[in-house]
Chain A
């Protein structure tokens, strides 16, 4: 921006910590006028800023007051008219450093210089107005999908509900009753699926397509182009957002030979038992006689690294329900439930207590090792039962409570297959072809699993994450997947029971509606909710390295035939990971760019004389690390005055060039503070902190070659609640740098 106004606040202890005329001098050096207000967030203070903006005197507002996380409503201006940058004089200076100290003053002046440098490079946001479609596409007509359709149509959105089978209903269509859903959680709930189906199919807002296959979905949220083939004919329509509720299927019990499935007719799965109960005929398949003793094997194949490593969370409750149903029809049938840990989540404990006390029910802890023929009966060997040694129980019918496998498709694996096939076709070298063929063979099980058929560079379906569930951020953002505007609900989202699946359907539908509404306002979805700026690609300089298209966590970028990125702004979440990836530095946002941050780095005054005055730059993720440090400041925890903090959208948005800029400026060290990576990542953009780890792992080798100590760069993962640790990390790093001595490039 060219017309900048600086507004400084002297309240909240800022005045007593630093000399504001020193800051004014810094502003004067840059030829910018300053206004000082004793309470800038007061109506008068805000009115003064607004007046300057409205008069057209300024198009850039630099506020030196509290953290950008505070008073955000007061200091919110139209981003299409004015750029705003905030310098945290309160949290990062006054509350966290010794008042009146020259180093504190130097810190404040540096922060202001950095703010000025940044705002000079900032541009006004130019939100692109796009036509946004209202329709919600719900994929899957089971309970979650039906609830999603009900919720979205209830919110006034047209819904297209597509179902692969001939009838709606999904898994619950074959279920008699449900586990208790309402207080006092003692009796099974009735299956209310048919009423729900009637309600949804009768709704004028909902169009149901059965026996449906999705041929292709192209475009972006708000503008998806969907092509399907169904019993109602081939159709093309637009959709604004998608809910994938494709459910789950039972784990294949044939993979559990030790439990005798497929070998003995009287070993059945809980799903087969459910069918029998639904037909009202509980008979042993071998001789069509009523069983006297039914033995339930819990965790059949679940929580087992060789089968399903996870708990499906509903099998125990389902067995409880089935025991209760068996006893209801015949109280004399003995039901033995052998469990590892009986899991009755939530209020279902109350149900469990009741079923336990039913005459003829016996719940025992143990692991079923083997099911064998016992002459007319089945002999079940139970180990780890606390009875000392393996024991054998006899039973007429053995029920395997098998877990659930999500009906998901692994988009990334499917893309790898497609890429490998291209390589085979190109036939560039024998080695390449052999490798590609090997890859195709390895990934064979994924072939033909396509569900959404997205036209996305990163694959035709949602990436399947841990255990093949496409849920991407279960801690902070439920229903989110790694594709913006596509939400997962029900058993494909996570293993769950009917009550949860219903909630999940409603929840995902609301996210879908939220996505459509935000798109209409040209706003990004969270975590940068409300951000109206979009990325700008200076494609003339693009070298088609494909790093941005590979690394975007949301699949925002497609490629043309040459590999040039094609930006889909409605898929974009504004994390800036592409900006961090780009070696040519051609990607920028109006208010956050490689150039702007480089300028901030360069604005820091680095004392020639090192004597106890090192300079450190901390790139802090604005999601967790930055707020944690704000909280430390609010608790008046102090840290060293050598650190200059630059907030970034994500650690993945840190471009390597900033390291070169910093070190060549004589900065003694860089520290990056971001969210946790790994299996239980807390990165708000899923892959950002992981990518930063990789990128900075590579750069440390380079530092070695330049005879710079790799210790000068550090990445630390910090959780939002670790506010006490944040200042400690900064102090420890400062100590490390003091031990290393001055940056040898200082003064060059």
Chain B
């Protein structure tokens, strides 16, 4: 066929894209205003104009192997300037959600989370039921006497079993999806330099939210996202420190309010609450600067907010709430965290994986970022 390619257009992909919030893609008439105004698009492979074209044609293969899809941070500068209201930012977000689904290991998990619009009760309900059943088996769901010590209600060993198992499984799935994506990206691209040093560069970029700083339309999201990121880092650190306190320093639980580890945890909590509120308010802006909400996005955001809210209430509940209520809030918290962990490679959370890899790939394929 010479220089002709047979186009494998997927109307199934198109339908899915349209259904999930990318309906506006049909409006694009390829003027490339979006690519011109995008501050993040690399000069040699600008987005999102071409991704819009591929999406229109239903060229799944190209979209799945394209780093541009992930380099987009949904600043939505394109959305506000699109002369035909094709909302490229929203379309890119929807493409990402479809990519996450298609890269998911195992596939059924990807489809389950991908269809969060209908499956969200399962995704939240199953962890909750799990904890109810587990706790009933362990202690008959009997709330401990005041003063409330959570360990007496949910023993640490149970938490370790559940979360270490989940984390382990999820890590394997993440690794598999990550490798699959990394190999797809690498096809036909010339990479150079070391993965590790590129990764370090990317992580520094992420740590200071360098790319978010270039956004105009959705600039207000930067602070919220920044606080959330560091809040989660702090929370993870605090969790690690608790183990240190428990098994190395043999400290008495719960830790005193002014214990350094506790302070780390509380700073993280403050960051998470502030970040969560900021992100939520940004989402609720009537101008939809953060993009039109989709069920998929909403699921992830809701779980994150639920984790934060229930976490903070759990801590406060120890002091101010009836132990029965506090315990039920604790169960909700544990369920929300489990839901968040278990859906990591399948929900919007997975952008952490794919965007980081795409940024590393970008560093290794272009000279200007080195």
Tell me the A residues contacting B by CB distance below 8 Å: 334, 353, 356-357, 359-365, 381, 386-387, 389-394
A387–B57 CB distance below 8 A: yes
Contact A359 B15 (CB under 8 A): yes
The answer to the question of B53 belonging to the interface, with a C-beta cut-off of 8 Å to chain A, is yes
* B44 nearest CB across to chain A (Å): 14
A391 close to B4 (CB less than 8 A): yes
21 A-B pairs whose Cβ atoms sit less than 8 Å apart in the complex: A334-B11, A353-B27, A357-B23, A357-B26, A359-B18, A360-B11, A361-B26, A362-B58, A364-B57, A365-B29, A365-B30, A386-B53, A387-B7, A387-B53, A387-B57, A391-B5, A392-B1, A392-B4, A392-B6, A393-B7, A393-B9
A356-B27, A391-B7, A393-B9 known; A364 vs B56 contact (CB < 8 Å): yes
Q: Tell whether, in the assembled complex, residue B56 and residue A363 are in contact, meaning their CB atoms are under 8 Å apart.
A: yes
Q: Is there contact, CB below 8 Å, between B7 and A389?
A: no
Residues on the B chain within 8 Å of A390, using CB: 3-5
B interface with A by C-beta (< 8 Å): 1, 3-7, 9, 11, 14-15, 18, 23, 26-27, 29-30, 53, 56-58
What's the count of A-B pairs with C-beta under 8 Å? Answer: 48
Contacts of A389 in B (CB 8 A): 3-5
CB neighbours of B9 from chain A (8 A): 362, 393
A392 to B7, CA, bound (A): 6
Please indicate the chain A residues that have their CB under 8 angstroms from the CB of B26 in the complex: 356-357, 361, 363
CB-based contact B4/A381 at 8 Å: yes
CB-defined contacts of A357 to chain B, threshold 8 Å: 18, 23, 26
A393–B1 Cα distance when bound, in Å, is: 13
Would you give the shortest CB distance from A346 to chain B, in whole angstroms? Answer: 17
Known: A362-B9, A362-B58, A393-B7. 7 other contacts (CB 8 A): A334-B11, A361-B26, A364-B56, A364-B57, A386-B53, A387-B53, A390-B3
Expressed in whole angstroms, the Cα–Cα distance for A394 and B29 within the complex equals 23
Instruction: Give B132 Cβ to nearest chain A Cβ, in Å.
Output: 41
In the docked arrangement, what's the CA distance between A363 and B55, Å?
11
A353 to B84, CA, bound (A): 10
Top-8 shortest CB links A-B: A356-B26, A391-B7, A390-B4, A392-B6, A389-B3, A334-B11, A357-B26, A357-B23
Q: How far is the CA of A357 from the CA of B15 in the complex (A)?
A: 10
Tell me whether A362 and B7 are in contact (CB under 8 A): no
Hey, which chain B residues are within 8 Å of A386, CB to CB?
Answer: 30, 53
Q: Tell me which residues across on chain A come within 8 A of B18, comparing CB atoms.
A: 357, 359
- B1:A362 contact, CB within 8 angstroms: no
B15: which A residues are within 8 A, CB to CB? 359-360
In the complex, what distance in Å separates the CA atom of A736 from the CA atom of B18?
A: 69
Q: Which of B4, B18, B29 is most buried by chain A, counting CB atoms within 10 A of its CB?
A: B4
Chain A residues, CB < 8 A from B53: 386-387
Docked complex Cα distance between A389 and B53 (Å): 14
Question: Shortest distance in angstroms between B58's beta carbon and chain A's nearest beta carbon?
Answer: 7
Q: Collect the chain A residues with CB atoms within 8 Å of residue B3's CB.
A: 389-390
Whole-angstrom CA separation of A392 from B53 in the bound complex: 16
Query: What separation, in Å, do the CA atoms of A394 and B11 have in the docked complex?
Result: 13
> B62 — nearest CB in chain A belongs to which residue?
A387
Measured CB to CB, the closest approach of chain A to B188, in angstroms, equals 13
Query: Cβ of A364: which chain B residues have Cβ within 8 Å of it?
Result: 56-57
Residue of B nearest to A369 (CB): B4
Q: Which residues of B are found within 8 Å of A334, using beta-carbon distances?
A: 11
Residues of A within 8 A of B1 (CB): 392
- Nearest-Cβ distance from residue B331 to partner chain A, whole angstroms: 42
> How far does the alpha carbon of A522 sit from the alpha carbon of B184 in the complex, in Å?
84
Is B4 a contact partner of A362 (Cβ separation < 8 A)? no
**Chain A residues with CB under 8 A of B27:** 353, 356
Q: In the assembly, what is the distance between CA of A181 and CA of B113, in Å?
A: 44
